[in-house]
Structure 1
């Protein structure tokens, strides 16, 4: 069960509900993975995510949500890409 007050968002991956959370560590990891420096650059970069970018962002958010095992196996996981993109947007919206 996710905690909206902490900014957590849920996403079903491989048939299991997983928790995403934008923590400071996840934010730093995402900035590095996307080559963005600062919020403005990151916001622009998030508008044009490739599949690889989405995987990197999801993995960071999964680790932020305490789902390190799911982050490690993400590239082979079954998930709805539209739902994943919405969950990423929701995680950022809740955190910021």
Structure 2
């Protein structure tokens, strides 16, 4: 089960439930992969529903790596994601939100 307080998001890829997480290292790799802009720009694209499939793929790959999987972008090019592109986009958006979520101050 994914632990949202640890920044984890679950996504089923090729029939296997995977945990994705954006660690600091995964975020650094993600930022390096982005050809333009920064992580803030990426967050703004998601908030404004202006993200691309490239953004979604980069986030899912970074999340898988942060979750401990050794994957490359090419590994996901033919992958079957339960729920299709919309589920992948939802998981990517949740990853970003959870990575930058502030702890509850109560």
Shift in Å, 1:21: 0.4
After superposition, give the CA deviation of every residue in 1:35-88 in whole Å (9 maximum; x if it has no partner).
Answer: 22352x232344433223321221111100112248662111011110111111
- Structure 1: gaps (5+ residues): none
Query: When the two structures are superposed, what TM-score results if normalisation uses the length of structure 2?
Result: 0.74
The runs of at least 4 aligned residues of structure 1 exceeding 3 Å deviation read 69-72
User: How many matched pairs?
Assistant: 95
Match of 1:84 in 2: 88
Structure 2, unaligned runs of 5 or more:
101-106
- 1:61 aligns with 63
TM-score (norm. length: structure 1): 0.80
CA distance 1:8–1:38, change in 2 (3 Å): closer
Q: Rg bigger for which structure?
A: 2
Mapped to 2, the partners of 1:4 and 1:37 lie a distance apart of 24
Q: Which has the higher helix share?
A: 1
